[in-house]
Amino acid sequence: MAQNLQYFLIPFLQPEMMLLIWVGVFAGIWVGAIPGLSVTMAASLLISFTFSWDINSALALICGVFVGGVYGGAITAILINIPGAPAAIATAMDGYPLAQMGEAGKAIGLCTTVSVFASFVGIVVLAVAAPVIANFSLKFAPRDFFLLAVMGLLLIGSIGGGDPIKGITAGAVGVLLSMVGMDPSTGELRYTFGNLYLMAGISFVTAMIGLFGVSEALTQFRSSGMKSPKQNLDRIIPSWATFLKYLPLSLRSALLGVFIGALPGTGGDVAALLAYDQAKRSTKHPSRPFGKGALEGIIAPETANKGAIGGAFIPMLTLGIPGDAVTAIIIGALFIHGLKPGPMLMIETPHLFWMIVSCLSIASVALMVLGLISVKPFAKIIEIPKEIVMPVVIILSVIGTYAIQNSVVDIFYMIGFGIIGYFLRLYGYATGPMVLGLILGPMLDANYRRTMQGAENQILPFLQGFVTSPISLFLTLSIVFLLFSQTATYRRWRGLE
Amino acid sequence: MKRSCVLFLSVLLMLSAASMGFAAYPEKTIQGYIMWGAGGGTDNFARAITPLVEKHLGGSIVLQNKVGASGALATTLVVNSAGDGYSLLYGAENPANYRVLGLSPLSFHDLEPITVAVEGAVVICVNPETPYKTMKDLVEAAKESKKIRMATSGVGGLPYVAGAMMKNIHGTDFNYIQFDGDGPGATAVMGGHADVMPLALSTSVEYIRAGRLRGLAVLATKRVPQLPDLPCITEVYPEYAQYLPWGPFYGVFVKKGTPADVVAKLSDAFTKAMAEPRFEEYVRNSGGFKNGSTGAEAVKFLEKFESTASWLIFNAGGAKKSPAEFGIPEPRK
């Protein structure tokens, strides 16, 4: 125990590491905020950059960027409706309407506070229960990932606008578009027309930037002459009463985030989407209706994606299995620095575990300070007249899209999605479900096929699996309940209507 | 006299300018395209060696992941580049199979190897809770039933080819389940969602050491130093020798037709970088073996791999086109 404490104190005793974490968080906020620039990208660049450094310093910087980057995604989501990262999609749903009402400062301030709280929840779970959760997460079969994807798709009901048919249509188109490219199991080419660029598939990040950012800018041009909302910057830091009021929701969403983050291959994006849906269904009296600036709609996804940071480290540090894309890169960094990431990592190099816990904690404190300092300047940005901001949004979208993988083709996709998004909005379709379909489509497709292959393509053993495995049964029942809870009978019984 | 003097001087000037042009390579930033995603084996290799190469080359290489179509996207980019040595492809074994799988008309024949840097071995791994304690157990059980679930990374990937090898030799057939790659497949085997998977040593070595996976045999003609207790397959079934050596590898390539002196300069820089202790340590830790071949030796290695892999895929029924169509010779028995 004393030894663990000693490991925990490593970054505190090295001013250089301390500084690097702060620098990392600061840089991460910007990387996260700029759409297209992702934490994954930053982390892989940092591997080359920190090649000749000591591993501790390299990890300190990467941890800082990780925490800052996940947070930064929310800033642009709230301010200009472009989620800086997929994990902030749900945040845009209520954050942007709030900013349009002049409450951007309040939204970002609340987002910062609950983010730091959730980040600590993730770290505590990581420190206390990592081996248990890691072993449990291994038990998730392809069937369970399929069920999680189905659960995610139910979110269309929450973000699809008023008309279910329109929401489902947009979602289905998204799933269909996600099928473009190589079939994940046979390598067969689907909808590619022999075109190499279509073979690579359609990146959902380009779709996200187009459908959210550019289509919003185009819609704004239509209503030109509209004044930018004057921002109210009096009370940025939420009061204790507000914080305590939302504490149960924050804790619940953060824990959900930790767990989803700990599942191999699912990260903050899926966690945030599920948490938003869960919050929408369970909150009886939101501060405003969901989708129109509910504070709950910011808290749930933002706490979930911060919790997912600690979560993603759980299987990585205990088993050497990445919990998400960023931890996959950190595993690579460990290899390059001469360590052996795997189940023996914690036994052979125990200092690493506690040092990472410590780095993440310092990063969360840094986030609190740097996040709150930058609320005012950020919120001021959207007081700039729309004629100036919106062209900048489009330029930023183009640069961000190009940055994903230096591909000009992606820019065309992005603009195409922007125009499609504009017409979708014009005719009352929400763009969120389409992005949702693109994100969840591959997860749905690949895991359904794996489950089917596991059942030797027999329908009966396939269906049996849903009731014989406890995890699958639980998830199946949850989905049934979620569907049932929308029926009039249930709502009358619970007094919701 | 005056005129010839001018002529002489201008020729001299041109010559020196030309020679300076060559001597100056690299005179601008080199683009390095990694054919697989961040955090994968190819990516790790690229990021481990490039800073060392930059030092010896005296220029900078900007790395970027160009993921798509099993690396065919990055390969196409490099083949369509100017062929001046400013576009490098950091790749794995995949281009050897593009043609038979119908993914792309390109292959290693359109590329010039700078080096085949690192080789790996494949280990047949099972979940430790399965009853298969030895390779013989697994083969006998697989002969009896087709219900053993083998995780693969898709048709044409390494696990698939290893499965094809077993099919050719023993006539075994597994229930194949495709995962997104070695890592997710290994995770699924550890979680019991698949029973067996042939895995690169680099992916599996730590899991085997920790007892999370059970290694049955390494697909090589001799044991590997990382796992000295693990038998090599030819100890159990000598008939595998016809396909070996075979396994994953990482290399660096440029477009075919790149000037020879540029290729030589790059090969030289990579050779020096591979000799650095830091890189050797990385190779050892990641469960690989240094190959380091360049030039004709590397070309020979690639041709042998292409022949083994594409005929195995074809015989297992996974190919769209016969390797014979492309003049790929059948491996000698």
**CATH number of the domain encompassing residue B315:** 3.40.190.150
What separation, in Å, do the N-terminal and C-terminal C-alpha atoms of chain B show? Answer: 71
State whether B235 and B277 are in the same domain: no
Q: Which of A48, A332, A56 is nearest to B49 (CA)?
A: A48
Residue B18 has pLDDT above 50, yes or no: no
Paired residues of B88 in beta bridges: B32
State whether B164 and B217 are in the same domain: yes
Are the C-beta atoms of B111 and B76 separated by less than 8 Å? no
User: Considering only residues 288 to 347 of chain A, which have any Cβ-Cβ distance to chain B shorter than 8 Å?
Assistant: 319-322, 325, 328-329, 331-332, 335-336, 338-345
Distance CA A482, CA A277 (A): 10
The predicted structure's pLDDT at residue A333: 87
State whether B112 and B252 are in the same domain: yes
The predicted structure's pLDDT at residue B66: 82
**Total structural domains within chain B:** 2
- Hey, what amino acid is at A119? S
Q: Nearest residue of B to residue A134 by CA position?
A: B191
Residue B178 inside a domain? The answer is yes
Residue A463 inside a domain? The answer is no
Mean pLDDT confidence for B61-69: 82
Are the C-beta atoms of B68 and A201 separated by less than 8 Å? yes
Prediction pTM value: 0.87
Mark yes or no for CB contact A332/B65 under 8 Å: no
Sites in chain A below the pLDDT cut of 50: none
The predicted structure's pLDDT at residue B19: 47
State whether B110 and B151 are in the same domain: no
The predicted structure's pLDDT at residue A497: 53
Distance CA A80, CA B77 (A): 35
Mark yes or no for CB contact A336/B282 under 8 Å: yes
How many CA atoms within 13 Å lie on the side-chain side of B269? 23
pLDDT averaged over every residue in chain B: 88
State whether B109 and B257 are in the same domain: yes
Mark yes or no for CB contact A335/B282 under 8 Å: yes
State whether B236 and B127 are in the same domain: yes
Using the 8-state DSSP alphabet, how is residue A211 labeled? I
Mark yes or no for CB contact A319/B190 under 8 Å: yes
B119-174 pLDDT, tens digit each:
989 999 999 999 999 999 999 999 998 789 999 888 788 898 999 999 989 999 89
Residue A10 inside a domain? The answer is yes
Q: For the purposes of burial, counting CB atoms within 10 Å of the CB of B28, is it exposed (0-12), middle (13-18) or buried (19 or more)?
A: exposed
CA distances from A72 to A138, A232, A295, A312, A396 (A): 30, 21, 18, 18, 15
Residue A98 inside a domain? The answer is yes
User: Considering only residues 407 to 426 of chain A, which have any Cβ-Cβ distance to chain B shorter than 8 Å?
Assistant: 407
Chain B contact for A491 (CB, 8 A cutoff): no
Residues B211, B179, B250, B317: is their CA dihedral positive or negative?
Answer: positive
The predicted structure's pLDDT at residue B20: 46
The predicted structure's pLDDT at residue A430: 87
Residue B2 has pLDDT above 70, yes or no: no
Residue B55 inside a domain? The answer is yes
Distance CA A380, CA A390 (A): 15
* Boundary-marking domain end, from B199, B227, B243: B243
The predicted structure's pLDDT at residue B174: 92
State whether B239 and B91 are in the same domain: no
Distance CA A463, CA B290 (A): 48
The predicted structure's pLDDT at residue A493: 77
**Dihedral over alpha carbons A472, A454, A149, B40 (to 10 degrees):** 120
State whether B187 and B77 are in the same domain: no
State whether B158 and B229 are in the same domain: yes
ipTM for the complex?
0.87
Residues 6+ apart with CB under 8 A from B307: B323, B328, B329, B330, B331
The predicted structure's pLDDT at residue B228: 93
- The percentage of residues in chain B with a pLDDT greater than 90, rounded to a whole number, is 54
Residue A479 inside a domain? The answer is no
Using the 8-state DSSP alphabet, how is residue A431 labeled? S
* Boundary-marking domain end, from B243, B262, B284: B243
Nearest to A184 among B147, B178, B209 (CB): B178
Residue A490 inside a domain? The answer is no
Residue A377 inside a domain? The answer is yes
Chain B contact for A40 (CB, 8 A cutoff): yes
Residue B259 inside a domain? The answer is yes
**Total structural domains within chain A:** 1
Residue A484 inside a domain? The answer is no
User: Which residues constitute the domain of residue B82?
Assistant: 29-120+248-296+307-326
The predicted structure's pLDDT at residue A273: 92
* Boundary-marking domain end, from B217, B243, B269: B243
Chain B contact for A234 (CB, 8 A cutoff): no
User: Which residues constitute the domain of residue A104?
Assistant: 2-454
Chain B contact for A469 (CB, 8 A cutoff): no
The predicted structure's pLDDT at residue A369: 95
Mark yes or no for CB contact B44/A335 under 8 Å: yes
Mark yes or no for CB contact A52/B64 under 8 Å: no
CATH number of the domain where residue B168 is located: 3.40.190.10
State whether B233 and B154 are in the same domain: yes
B256-276 pLDDT, tens digit each:
999 999 999 999 999 999 999
The encoded tokens of residue B182 equal: 């070695």
Residue A489 inside a domain? The answer is no
